[in-house]
Every structure is written in structure tokens, then in C-alpha cells.
Structure 1
């Protein structure tokens, strides 16, 4: 396995018996995230007061996984903090017994900033002095640059830059789906999340309700204000150049916006404790069709 930059990987998603979802993706956890779009001064101040608690939770969680996963032993310690990895959609789950297989030698990790092909496999590092690795099959699990994919839809240079945003506006789509200046086109899946599948389904439901006439888009100025607020949030809480914005740390907040647009109650849990302490998932939105 060739790795250019180690990602933050966890084993099982539990910290001392508590799921990561409860720690970072419940309403209570989102309450500690400041500067959510449209949250108002009172909630911003409350989030700032609670930020030391969020910092403590992330540091304890990071220490827990550092102690339980031999990433330091194998040179796989990420460059970024656990908090950044969560908010920037850079958190993954290790395959079962992954580091056991590394220890026994059936999985071999190689770190290399550059990779090229040669006649019988790969060259890791500079082509003249790099390590050669024989390979029958190479799987390129490198992801893709979502912004380039979105820009590639358009021939017009103006639309190319408009639709995918940039450093000053990393989240250019209203409700992460429609550009205020190109309302005839909807985009599903440009924004990322820790569990993207049901987020994309919610986007699709929102677009379906829009096309069915359940609600109408607001004016361009109002949409652009919302876009600007989400852009500021993304810049504060983690964005990776060339990829779509990550909304993990405020995904329930985002789904609340979609529910209100579609005419559904955003509070989907049974009971106040469940509403605040349990993470949201696909089953909570099953009644929206």
C-alpha cells in the first residue's frame, strides 16, 4: 500500500464504548461548533463558551486512538489534528485487523510523495533514485478533484469559475445544490460528509420537491447571502483545495434547512434526550419522500 499522506483512520468508531457519532455528530456536538450559517449571535456565543469542551473531547479521542492503533510504529501518524480531520471529512475506518496484517507482513506500507510506472511495476519517489516495486496489478485509490469535475461541465470560462467556487467562496451552491446564478441546474453530491450516501439522498429529495413545486427558490440576493455564510463556515472548519466543501460538523444543521424548505419538521427523534444525544442517520429521514 503506497501512501503519500496518512489519513486519520479509526478502528471501529468507538471511544471507551462511546460512538464517534455521539461525540461529534449529535445535535449537542453541533451546538459546540461556532459560526454555523444563520445561527445568530446567541448560539455563536454559546458555541464559543462550549469550545473548550469540544477541544477536550477531540484531544481525548485523538489520544485514545493513538494509544490503541500502532500508527506511530508504522509511520502513519497524520499531519493534521483529529478535530481538523473530522471537520474536513478526512476520517476513515480501518479494515478489520489491518495493522495485524501489517505486522505479519501480508500488507506492506510504503510512504512516497510521488509515484510513477515502470516496465514491471512502480517507482516510488524520484524516477532515477526511487525504490522500484514489482506489481502485477495497481489499484489507483486516489479519489478525484470534485471542483475540476464540476467545472468540466461548462465550456464557458465564466461559468467554470462561478460554479465550483474558489478560496474566497469554497461552497458556491445554495443548499449545496443550486448555484444562485444558474438556477436551472442542480448538482447532487458536490459537498462531502462523513456518511455521504444519505446526505446525497437528502439533496436528491430536496431537488425533487423543488421540481415538484413544493417550494420555490428565494431571490438571488438571499441565496447568495446563504452561500456566503456557508462559505465562511467551510473556510473556518476545514476545506481541502480542489475538492467539494465538507459539512460533517454541521450536517444535521444543514438537513434542518432542507427539511424546513420541504415542509417537514426537522426534529425527527422521539424524546428530547434522543434528539440531542443521538446522531442522525438515514432512518430519521425515511418518512420524507
Structure 2
């Protein structure tokens, strides 16, 4: 019997117990799933940062810590975590992100905000360019960034992607490194941020990099709040360097009621809804990883602790 400790909060336990049990049964895994296994007996840990579990050193038998969250910045630096750590790459989360990013890119591309604001009885046609003439850059070509970039390229958009390391993706102009970031920004009418939260990605968009964007560019951030220097973005909005920003993630969440983003006329705030882990599909990912590990295969989505993701 494989003992799996669910250390992801009481509320999540109520949501995940049934789909996890089904996913294990579908793979004929003999699992004892509980929120109360002793540390020395636990073969795997299903984890979320809302858990009280902070010290992983007693879990000497544990083969892997399986995160329910896509982001691992709240656990990856834990020095007691010597076990392999796997982040959540959930097909449902990925599809949700693709739909959200595509929808807001189309909103900007088609000028929907402007059309709604100008319904004043005057007939003022404004035809948007075709997708092939609209340049979009995605910063971050991991699982989510690649999925979004590929979908947008499939709609005909002129897509550029940027990553820290060199990548090659069909239909995407791929840039990398510091010089590549400048090139990726200089051509971007719409920028989508899907980078992980690491020390090297903090304030990727700052006063200097925002200045590289074409005047009137638009920003979409469903990635991490730390990717943007907030004061620099507000200044760029106020000086018309940036025409508009749609922000789904913030350094402090929920976003405080007095935060200037709420009242800024060129900012759309959404409450961290771009992508959410779906219990049914996430449970399939967890069960697949345990099945792989038990059969001697490599874990999926294992985190590079040195890189932070």
C-alpha cells in the first residue's frame, strides 16, 4: 500500500479527495490517501503552500513532493526540502490560460474597449488590421507561454517569444538573453508576461525595458505580479508610452482597495482568474506521476531547484 499524505489544506482536501481517489483507481494504484500519515510512513506528499507543513526533513521515506500549484516559489527555497519537487502542469490550467490570454489579445487587437467607449450616437468606423499585421510578444516560453504563443500564431498573429535560454518553436520568432529581450520588446504592440517568479525575472518590465516598447503598446500580465515594476508601469501609462495594461496578478493579493491600479483609467484589473488548477485534471497529473515513479520512470515536471522552476 502506497501512503500518500495530502498536505494542501482542509478546503482543498474536500475538493480533491474524490477526484484523486478516482485517478488512483483508474491506474490500479493501491493508495492510502490521508491528511494524517506520520512523516516516517509517507511515500509521497501532495502539497500546496496553504499547508502548515514547513519542515520536510522528517519525511525520510518520501519519494517526491507533488505540488498542486504551478508556481513553486513559496517552497523551492525551503532548505529542508531534499526530496524531488514537481510543479503542477495541468492541462485544464493550460487551456484556461490559453483562452484568457487569447481573449484579451483579441480584445486589444480588435479595439473592443475603444468601440464600447465610443458608443455616443456617432458612426465612426475603425477597421483593425489583420492578425498577420499585429505583432505580439510573449515573455516566457515554458509550458504556458508556448501554448499561448502557438495558439496565437495559429490565428495568424506575428508572434515573437522570449526566454532566458535559446528555444526553437515552429511559427514563433524566438529570442533569448538580454539582447534578445530588447529585440522582442521593440517589435511588440502587445506584450504578454508568462515568466516564473525568480530573482532573475523580478521587474522584467521596468523603466528601461518599458521604454523599448513602441509608443502605445499594451501589456497583459497573467504570470506573476513581481514581473513588473509597478511605479514604472504607472509612469509609462501616465506619459502615454503604454496605452493600456490588463493585470491579473499582483505583489499583494487580494489587491488592496487603495491601490492605484484600481482607479487608473488605463488599467484593467482581474482577480487572479487567468488560469486555475482543475481538480479532475490535476488529480490525473498527480496519479500519473506516482505511477511513473513506482514503475521506475522519471518524474514529470520536476523542478530545477537551482533555477527556481
TM-score, structure 1 as length reference:
0.27
Tell me the TM-score normalised to structure 2 length: 0.26
Q: Which fold has the larger relative contact order, with Cα–Cα distance below 8 Å and residues 6 or more apart in sequence?
A: 1
Higher-strand-fraction structure: 2
